[in-house]
Amino acid sequence: MKLAEKIAEIFPKEEQMADFLLEHTCRIAVSKNEIISRNGSHNRNVYFVEKGLMRSFYYENGKDITTNFYMEGRIIANIDTLFRNQETRYNIEALENGEVVYCDFGILEKVCSESLLAANFSRYILGLLMSQMADRIATLQYMTARERYHILLKDNPDIVLRAPLGMIASYLGISQETLSRIRSGK
């Protein structure tokens, strides 16, 4: 889903949104394995995945830990940097060639003081990011590995075709062997 289509869904009567998007967003092509945001940076961009698959991850004891996958139509940002203006601990990586649209959150904040439309758009973005985080925490705290796997498949039906199984296992918080058992129904 394209950003303009998503915005039209959310704000169906706001023709100004197209102007806002043209003026305050940038569109870039990303290559497979490209890191668009590195840990240790102050990247305050909010990304919308137009095409491709992205993931966020961090390093822990020499291993990378996948925290989320983002397919077409999803929004990604470094929440730690957006709200606390500290270096992010996360990386955002393209797992496929694709295209993203992004907006600097600082610019969005400035525009929000002048435009109710921008303020509503910002509130929508922040709501999505917080909902994604709340859902992620709930699955980790209250669900079994098998349940987490089925939720992942429900939300991202073709994830096993698009992401390496090691990254999927990391996201689920299990070993690849456990993932293999779950996938085989054991």
What is the spatial order of strands in the sheet that 35-37 belongs to?
35-37, 91-94, 54-60, 63-70
Triad 46, 51, 56: Cα angle to 5°: 50
- Hey, which bits of the chain come out as E strands? 26-30, 35-37, 45-51, 54-60, 63-70, 75-77, 91-94, 98-104
Instruction: Return the minimum-mean-pLDDT range out of 30-39, 52-61, 109-118, 177-186.
Output: 109-118
Q: Bigger pLDDT: 63 or 8? A: 63
Question: Kind and range of the H or E element at 160?
Answer: helix 159-162
Considering 1-10, 77-86, 171-180, the range whose residues carry the highest mean pLDDT is 171-180
Report CA Rg, the chain: 17
> Cβ(105)–Cβ(44) under 8 Å?
yes
Give the residue-averaged pLDDT of 151-168: 92
- CA 29 – CA 121 distance, rounded (Å): 24
